[in-house]
Structure 1
Amino acid sequence: MAEASDQESKTEQPTEKKIRDALEQGKIPVSREASTFASMAALMVILSFLIGQGAQRLVPSLKSLLDDPDGFRLSTAADAQNLLTVIGLEAGRFMVPLLVVLIAFGLAASLLQNAPRLVLDRIQPNFSRISPAQGWSRIFGAQGLVEFAKSVFKLVSVSLVVGFVLHSSEARAFEAMFTDPVALPEMILTIAMRVVSAICITTIVLVAVDLAWARFHWRRELRMTKQEIKDEHKQAEGDPLIKARLRSLARDRSRRRMIAAASKASLVIANPTHFAVALRYQRDENPAPLVLAKGMDAIALKIRAVAEENNIPIIENKALARALYEAVQVDQVIPSEFFRPVAEIIYFLQSRQSPRAERVQ
């Protein structure tokens, strides 16, 4: 019941990340019927192009062995080994092409469905695969019922087709009793090709349906809940609370460095309590005054306090303080439009040579 309710809550389509993770873990849609069809198609190719030529090459060797067994020396173990080697080579020449075709069609059936991937987790021991409870759920679950239905359909359809083909060849089978035995292999090969070709045609429909079902079932198993999508988005973008906390810490560190730098300022231009901009001007350091710190409200008061502790002149100019705060960033020189008013203040301070706060109206 819990598993069913969990599946019902998964109403959202899988994201690209979910699909990518499933592919990397080896969870891919696979049609078993495609492999069966590939085997039958390979058998059809073998019967059509390889079995006849291979038999023609193999028969003379076996015929010479059966017709004249005394012609082979078997006096020693070496003679027996040589005989087995000859027979093995001839059998290998006959079997290797057949095996190559079967392997090629089997690989093609897998590669055409999905790209090859090396997933070591899939070959590691998994005790749930031998669990009776898990096996019972696989056999009698939804997937097990689908596999059972496919097997029944395949058994019925293939039986009907094979029965029809064999029934149509019944007359030829009776004629075989009165024909030359040499012609029997060719007749059997012809009937076998008809049977295999009929099975291939029958299973094409089953393969198409199974491929569509495998893709549909795979995507349904990957469906996600709305909460899973939110969690994945948080992991991709970062948790908003953590990001906000990190930004807050970064701002705090920046403020502490900025306020510490205010102690090296040459003057502070302030709007009594709302804005404060600490400037440093040394001719041998920068061509124009440099902004060491700026702030408003509590930070402005802190900058003023640092200035008072270090006997830095504080000039109260509401319009200039606000304009500098909005136009200039920390660790930048002031723009050219502020050169004249700031230069007048610096000239005024240098002429007065007074460390206490002044007021300019």
Structure 2
Amino acid sequence: MVWLKLDLQYFAADEKTEKATPKKREDTRKKGQVPKSQDVNTGFLLLLIFGTLFLLGGYMEGTLKGMYKVAFNEYIHKDLSQEQTHAMFVEMTVEISKIIAPIMGVALVAGIASNLLQVGIMFTGEPLKMDLKKLDPIKGAKRIFSARALVELLKSLLKISMVGVITFAIIWVNKDQMMMMSQKSVEDALAFFGTITTIMGLASALALLILSVLDYTYQKYDHEKNIRMSKKDIKDEHKNIEGDPQIKAKIKEKQRQMSAARMMSEVPDADVVITNPTHYAIAIKYDEAKSDAPYVVAMGVDFIALKIKEVAKSNDVVTVENRPLARALYQHSEIDQPINEQFYKAVAEVLAYVYQLERKM
């Protein structure tokens, strides 16, 4: 029963039940793993392109007509030479660019805007790195028959159905006018069918944008599910950020040892060591060039206090026993800092006694 309980606790700790931490989110973002819907890109692209066609259709029509007029009225009468062919090619390229440039520019803006809207500014080369795991046929088969693949299939069928219904509805509404186009001029027929095509494109783009909201919601949910963490993962991450407690303890111990060694090196220059006499030891120095008040160069309790007294004795530093003062100085003083104003009088009396003793000696 004990082993069963431990196994259950182990599996519970490994279960992905916790939301991703900010660090986990940042790491996955650096790898290019962000919630993103391609339908948002497609919807924006179609909407802006058909909107551009709707607004600039007259300008494009005029440019095309001008090209045909020049081609059949001027170019057809020119001599077919290398220079003339080059000049005609350059002129036609410039005119075609006037038609294509707005569409290409809008497509570029749509692609950038849709990505910024979803993921913001992000530069990463991780998705471009070669990963042999992606060539694993077993994992590939799992992806093909996964729940995500089923969702993508249903989503594709829904998009095809929506676009099909929309285009059929628009054609059905305008079927009578379409039948009458045989009685109209070619220019009127082309204008009518161009308008109908643009309307179908705009309606389909709006439908895809509505669908993309649902798709983005699902992509975000699926992303959050995939980056969930177990309690063990959170603990491990915390250890990596803060450092292993054992290593941190060793570092602190080393720092204490270095501090103690540096502190002991200051004891020989002290003016006096005030003791408890067994538990506390505080080394005091008065240097007018460094501080207006006496300051603590070393202090400690028990073992460190014993070492301070041994160093003081070996270097002929005077030791004075004053139990209340030693305790108070230890509790209210910092190393390399002046003593508290409330101890001025008591420490001054001790220093006066030490100076008098040194003069006699």
TM-score range relative to shorter protein: 0.7 to 0.9
> What corresponds to 2:112 in structure 1?
107
Question: 1:185, CA displacement in angstroms?
Answer: 0.3
Is 1:242 matched with 2:247? Answer: yes
Cα separation, partners in 2 of 1:295 and 1:216, compared to 1, 3 Å: same
Cα separation, partners in 2 of 1:178 and 1:240, compared to 1, 3 Å: same
Match of 1:152 among 136, 147, 157: 157
Query: Which consecutive residues of structure 1, in runs of 5 or more, have no partner in the other structure?
Result: 354-361
1:11-61 CA deviation, whole Å, 9 max, x = no partner?
111222222233333322211101211232133213312233212221243
User: 3-state SS of the aligned residue for 1:157?
Assistant: helix
> What corresponds to 1:200 in structure 2?
205
* Matched residue type, 2:246: L
Cα separation, partners in 2 of 1:53 and 1:265, compared to 1, 3 Å: closer
Cα separation, partners in 2 of 1:284 and 1:16, compared to 1, 3 Å: closer
> Are 2:318 and 2:354, in contact at CA under 8 Å, matched by a contact in 1?
no
Match of 2:32 among 20, 23, 26: 26
Considering only CA atoms, is the larger Rg found in Structure 1 or Structure 2? 1
Is 1:342 matched with 2:355? Answer: no
TM-score, normalised relative to structure 1: 0.82
Cα separation, partners in 2 of 1:242 and 1:57, compared to 1, 3 Å: same
CA distance in 2, matches of 1:273, 1:8: 53
Kindly report which structure 2 residues correspond to 1:46-85, keeping only aligned pairs within 5 A, or say none: 46-66=52-72, 70-74=76-80, 76-85=81-90
> Are 1:50 and 1:98, in contact at CA under 8 Å, matched by a contact in 2?
no
* Matched residue type, 1:249: K
User: 3-state SS of the aligned residue for 1:136?
Assistant: helix
Question: 1:285, CA displacement in angstroms?
Answer: 8.7
CA distance in 2, matches of 1:60, 1:226: 70
Question: 1:150, CA displacement in angstroms?
Answer: 0.8
> Are 2:162 and 2:207, in contact at CA under 8 Å, matched by a contact in 1?
yes
> What corresponds to 2:8 in structure 1?
none
CA distance in 1, matches of 2:195, 2:224: 43
CA distance in 1, matches of 2:236, 2:94: 63
* Matched residue type, 1:259: M
- Which fold has the larger relative contact order, with Cα–Cα distance below 8 Å and residues 6 or more apart in sequence? 2
Question: 1:208, CA displacement in angstroms?
Answer: 1.4
Cα separation, partners in 2 of 1:278 and 1:60, compared to 1, 3 Å: closer
Question: 1:162, CA displacement in angstroms?
Answer: 1.6
CA distance in 1, matches of 2:58, 2:104: 15
C-alpha RMSD over aligned residues: 3.2
TM-score, normalised relative to structure 2: 0.82
User: 3-state SS of the aligned residue for 1:277?
Assistant: strand
User: 3-state SS of the aligned residue for 2:300?
Assistant: strand
User: 3-state SS of the aligned residue for 2:120?
Assistant: coil
> What corresponds to 2:41 in structure 1?
35
Cα separation, partners in 2 of 1:39 and 1:317, compared to 1, 3 Å: closer
Query: Which consecutive residues of structure 2, in runs of 5 or more, have no partner in the other structure?
Result: 1-10
Identity score, percent: 29
Is 1:189 matched with 2:197? Answer: no
Kindly report which structure 2 residues correspond to 1:1-361, keeping only aligned pairs within 5 A, or say none: 9-66=15-72, 70-74=76-80, 76-280=81-285, 291-332=296-337, 334=339, 335-339=343-347, 341-343=349-351, 345-346=353-354, 349-350=357-358, 353=361
User: 3-state SS of the aligned residue for 1:112?
Assistant: helix
